Structure 1
Amino acid sequence: MNSARKINKEVIQSKFSHIFGGMYFDHLIDGGVLKIGIVNSQANQAAIKEIADKILYNDKVQFYNTKYTYSQLKEKLAEINNFVKNNPQLPISYTSLSVRNNNIIVALKQTDDNLTKNLNDLFGAEFLNITVDNPIVTETSRSALTRPLNWRFTLEYSR
């Protein structure tokens, strides 16, 4: 993981940020694989080779094709978050940048075709993955607010 941070900082962000689509660690493939997104990966094979050559264990790295750079997604997420902040009455649960899917997730509290259309028109349907997700937090749910963040800690609360 430390070598991934180093590669990201010293190689990708300094030289290839214009084609970098993000990276994540996929625990489900061969005991763990670092996935690096490259915009138009077919046309950027030389960059992929240069990045791979700098990685010590490059057999644990896979490159995948993306449409947008990580910077473009961060900018779009900031635009959407600003819109949500200025329109608190909208039934939006959360927004999130998905590196794996190379898009922005906008979770609505309930189905709203008008809002979906407006969001797609405002921010570009190609950037968005609009879904309905209104999680219910209970004391026994995995997302419970009282769930320990670390095995040594628990959060106290009053009802």
Structure 2
Amino acid sequence: MGSDSDLPTMEKAIAVCEDFAISYEVAIISAHRTPDRMVEYARNAHQKGIKIIIAGAGGAAHLPGMVAALTPLPVIGVPVTTRQLQGVDSLYSIVQMPRGIPVATVAIGNAQNAGLLAVQILAISEPQLQNQIQQYRQNLAQTVLDKQERLDKLGYQTYLTQM
């Protein structure tokens, strides 16, 4: 992440890694304030056994794109919500990558989806993760079905008051 202020957002990607028992590291690396550190990290990440980089950044949000330009690994960008433009600036910065330097991008502030996308990428070669992702999706579906059952039982007005 570009700053420690991004940690509350990025925490959700960390939680996904923990839920799926995937090792991870957390680092503060600013594309603007520590550019040499960013270059070293991005160029050497694959040699450390890292398989995917999730990079969160707000404002100018250059971290995901610059890391993607320097590493052979897949990079998932998380646009972090900003006070001035609510993260739209971060989103535009991350998705406007030039041809040849892709960065997968999730919704503003949605590091949980970044974590899940990383799991899905890893699941390509790890069947146990495929099974875990399938179970996760089944649990999501069951949650919706349970809510519908409760709504049918209570009616919408009572359901609303109990939300």
Give the TM-score normalised by structure 2. 0.24
Structure with higher RCO (Cα < 8 A, 6+ apart): 2
Q: Looking at CA atoms only, which structure, 1 or 2, has the larger radius of gyration?
A: 1
The structure whose residues are more often helix, as a share, is 2
